[in-house]
Structure 1
Amino acid sequence: MRLGFIGTGVITQAVVTGLIRFGVPFERIALSPRNAETAAGLAELDARVHVCASNQEVLATSDAICLAVVPQIAAGVLSGLEFDARHHVISFIAGIKIDEVRRLVRTASKVVRAIPLPAVAEGKGSTVICPADDLAKSLFLPLGEAVEVDSEGKFDALSAATATMASFYAVLEAQASWLVRQGLRYEDARAFLSGYCVGLAHGTTRTAQPFSLMAESCMTPGGINEQVHAELSQRGTYAHYGDALGRVLDRIEGRA
């Protein structure tokens, strides 16, 4: 496989690092010259990774092309490039649907969308793919989870779910701050909570149980887990997630 990346930012860095680290087979990876420092660092990881002189050279030397530019500049970057029908296009561009990507690349190329997250570099990421695509799945399944969906509506919903990253860390910060008020050093509180969360997250990979059953298994009648869960439920805390995500989805799909 000859794989090319248009755009060399955080996501490209994570994907290429993961592909190398976890032995995903490829013949060559061609990188955009944009963000020269990141591109040069990736080229040092493996002799098969090359930094091209231009984005057009990336296309000329690749069969599968990952579009990894921010949406604000996508039209400007892609309009100056000549894609070929042989190119298998995987778009990471947020908010730009398949039909629009196809219009921008101006060929009958196969076009799919994917949302790789930074943790793919560690083999811990979840990547959603739309529509189902064997090539994209072969790239991302070794880097964590690869979830294929059959509509861009479902793809957008999973994209909206990624808006919870900041709030995830904010919840941890609230717990750490509470522990500090109980007399712990922040460093100790953070170390404890980091390991605690890793353990809980790992538990989700060891079973296919619904999360609701996993929650129930943590609660004993009258126990402290039941106490906190009941209080948060009564206050409608969990319902706020659905409300907020609904508004994010409206924004993604242009309804707000």
Structure 2
Amino acid sequence: MRLGFIGTGTITHAVVTGMLRFGVSFERISLSPRNANTAAELAMLDERVRVCGSNQEVLETSDVVCLAVVPQIAADVLGELEFDSRHHIISFIAGVSLDELSRLVLPADRVARAVPLPAVAEGKGSTAICPADEVAKAIFSALGEAVEVDDERKFDALSAVTATMASFYAVLESQASWLVQHGLNYPAARAFLSGYCIGLAHDTAQTKEPFSAMVKHCMTPGGLNEQVHTELSRRGTYAHYNQALDEVMRRIKARA
């Protein structure tokens, strides 16, 4: 597989690093010159990874092309390029639909979307793929969990859920601040909470049971977990998440 990346930012860095770390098979990887420092850093990791002189050179030396530019410039960047019917396109560009991508990359006709997150560099990420795509699945199933969906409404919903990263860290920050108020120093509070979250995440990967069942398993009648869960439920905390995600979905649909 000759793989090329148009755009060399955080996600490209994570994907290429993960591919090298977990032995994803490829013949060569061609990187666009955009973000020269990141491209040069990746090229130093393996002799099969090279930085091209232009985005067009990336296309000329690749069969599978990953699009990793920001959505604001996607049409301008892709509009300057000459794609070929041999190209298999995997787009990481948020908010650009399959229909629009198909127009921008003609005559290429194999197009999929994916949402890899930075954790793929460590083989711990979840990547949504639409539609089912054997090449994208081969790459991302080696870098964590690859979830294929059959239409963009489901894909957009998975994309919306990734907007909870900041709020996830904000919850941890509120807990760390609470621990500091009770006498811990911040580094100790942070270290404890980081390990605590790793343990919880590990548990989710060890079972296929619904999260609702896991909620029940960790609560004893009248116990502390039940107390916090009941209090947050009573205040509508979880419902606020649904409302926030509904607003994200409206923004995503408005871009389509």
How does 1:43-82 map onto structure 2 within 5 Å? 43-82=43-82
Deviation at 1:106, TM superposition (A): 2.1
Instruction: Describe the superposition over 1:102-131 as per-residue Cα deviations: whole angstroms up to 9, x where unpaired.
Output: 111121420000000000000000000000
- Contact 2:89-2:108 within 8 A present in 1 as well: no
Partner secondary structure for residue 169 of structure 1: helix
Partner secondary structure for residue 146 of structure 1: strand
**Matched residues, number:** 256
Instruction: Describe the superposition over 1:146-186 as per-residue Cα deviations: whole angstroms up to 9, x where unpaired.
Output: 00000000000000000100000000000000000001101
Partner secondary structure for residue 207 of structure 2: coil
- CA distance in 2 between counterparts of 1:108 and 1:255 reads 23
- CA distance in 1 between counterparts of 2:92 and 2:108 reads 18
Partner secondary structure for residue 45 of structure 2: coil
Deviation at 1:255, TM superposition (A): 8.0
TM-score normalised per structure 2: 0.99
Partner secondary structure for residue 100 of structure 2: helix
- CA distance in 2 between counterparts of 1:52 and 1:109 reads 24
The aligned counterpart of 2:127 is 127
Query: Alignment RMSD, CA only?
Result: 1.0
The aligned counterpart of 1:151 is 151
The aligned counterpart of 1:225 is 225
- CA distance in 2 between counterparts of 1:167 and 1:136 reads 29
- CA distance in 2 between counterparts of 1:198 and 1:173 reads 16
Deviation at 1:37, TM superposition (A): 0.4
* Identity between Structure 1 and Structure 2 (%): 73
Partner secondary structure for residue 126 of structure 1: strand
The aligned counterpart of 1:199 is 199
> Which structure 1 residue ranges, 5 or more long, are not aligned?
none
Partner secondary structure for residue 214 of structure 2: helix
The aligned counterpart of 2:29 is 29
How does 1:179-194 map onto structure 2 within 5 Å? 179-194=179-194
User: Closer, same or farther in 2 for the Cα pair 1:154/1:168, shift >3 Å?
Assistant: same
The aligned counterpart of 2:10 is 10
Partner secondary structure for residue 248 of structure 1: helix
> Which structure 2 residue ranges, 5 or more long, are not aligned?
none
Instruction: Describe the superposition over 1:9-54 as per-residue Cα deviations: whole angstroms up to 9, x where unpaired.
Output: 0000000000000000000000000000000000011110010001
- Contact 1:84-1:109 within 8 A present in 2 as well: no
- CA distance in 2 between counterparts of 1:40 and 1:71 reads 24
- CA distance in 2 between counterparts of 1:137 and 1:187 reads 38
- CA distance in 2 between counterparts of 1:117 and 1:124 reads 9
TM-score normalised per structure 1: 0.99
Partner secondary structure for residue 81 of structure 1: coil
